[in-house]
Amino acid sequence: MKIFSGSSNPDLSRKIAKQLGCQLGEIELSQFSNGERRVWIKEKVLNSKAIIVQSLSYPPDSHLMELCLIADALKRQGVKKITAVIPWLGYCIQDKVFRPGEPLSSKVIAMILQTAKLERIITLDSHNQVIEGFFDIHFTELFATDTLIDYFKTQKLNIDTIISPDVGALKKANRFSETFDLPFIVINKKRDRKTGKVSIASVSDKVAGKKVLIVDDFISTGGTLIQTAKFLKEKGVKKIYACLTHHFYIPGVQEKIEKSQLDCLYVTDTVQTLEKKYQKLKVISIAKLISDTIRKYEKI
């Protein structure tokens, strides 16, 4: 078994390799002078199984192309089977044609990945589970909820209410609520499709004096979390924490979180974390969840 890291998330790739007790495969990743991605596998892989770890994080198109090139290079060197670990499956947010004239991006990404001769894809919290149906190859979707729940079991935050910032996060919020035997409350969030601006209309219950944990799948512009935290603070909430799977680290967003009413944001490492340390950002690794899954499928 050989594990190759694309350039999107080397820290997570190293952690997965460590969990599996193997070294990362030798690979040279660079760019041609015209910006095209260049890949060179520098070790023997004939008849072996390979894992490629690559998030389709920023810049997503380039990371997608690099993943396809790594897969092609490996196949040409005689690899028997490739599993792609794609912790953040880019383009999965557009899982519907919201307005006539828009593409079904998650179907397009599935078609592209299928041309890359991958045998299996392992991904996490893909925004909408329906997208599994767009793939004709083995597709395993993992959920970071258990990893996050295990983490919160070790913390003494005295949270007394779970918050779902919209109906999309209900299932996750419900898991937290059941595990910790806490009530959960839903926020009525609205997003303007043209501007992307988020506004909070109402909350389904009384929240004054509470210590709450907001549960969601990702943070992009930060609008949802920042507006929810502002709204909750105005309603008298004492402490506001949030936990979610993916942080895209769009420039300036974590800085806005630092200045927001949020006390702490807990995210996983599906996307390469920033070098700079932030007071309100805590990263929890999902390397074990991924490596346990690889072990299960590869019987190692």
Question: Please, are residues 161 and 185 in contact by the beta-carbon 8 Å criterion?
Answer: yes
Residues numbered 222 to 241 that lie near ligand R5P (CB under 6 A) are 222-224
Helix-helix angle 145-153:287-298, to 10 degrees: 130
* Residue in 86, 78, 88, 83 with CA at minimum distance from that of residue 41: 78
* Residue in 175, 252, 269 with CA at minimum distance from that of residue 213: 175
Least distance in angstroms from the C-beta of 168 to ligand R5P: 4
Tokens linked to 194:
């043209």
Least distance in angstroms from the C-beta of 182 to ligand R5P: 20
User: Distance between terminal CA atoms of the chain?
Assistant: 9
Is 189 one of the annotated active-site residues of the chain?
yes
Question: Quick check: 187 binds ligand R5P (CB under 6 A)?
Answer: no
Give the residue, chosen from 77, 114, 221, 261, that forms a contact with ligand R5P under the rule CB under 6 A: 221
Nearer to ligand R5P, 74 or 198 (CB): 198
Binding mask of the shown chain, residues 109 to 128, with x at each position contacting ligand R5P by CB under 6 A: --------------------
Nearer to ligand R5P, 82 or 257 (CB): 257
Give the residue, chosen from 148, 219, 265, 287, that forms a contact with ligand R5P under the rule CB under 6 A: 219
Annotated catalytic residue, options 18, 189, 190, 288: 189
Question: Please, are residues 119 and 84 in contact by the beta-carbon 8 Å criterion?
Answer: no
Q: Where does residue 221 rank: exposed (0-12), middle (13-18), buried (19+ CB within 10 A)?
A: middle
Choose one: 46-54, 116-124, 163-171, 233-241; the region binding ligand R5P (CB under 6 A): 163-171
Tell me the helix, strand and coil percentages in the chain, rounded to 5.
30, 25, 40
Question: Quick check: 209 binds ligand R5P (CB under 6 A)?
Answer: no
Nearer to ligand R5P, 52 or 253 (CB): 253
Residues involved in catalysis: 189
Site residues (vs ligand R5P, CB under 6 A): 165-166, 168-169, 198, 216-224
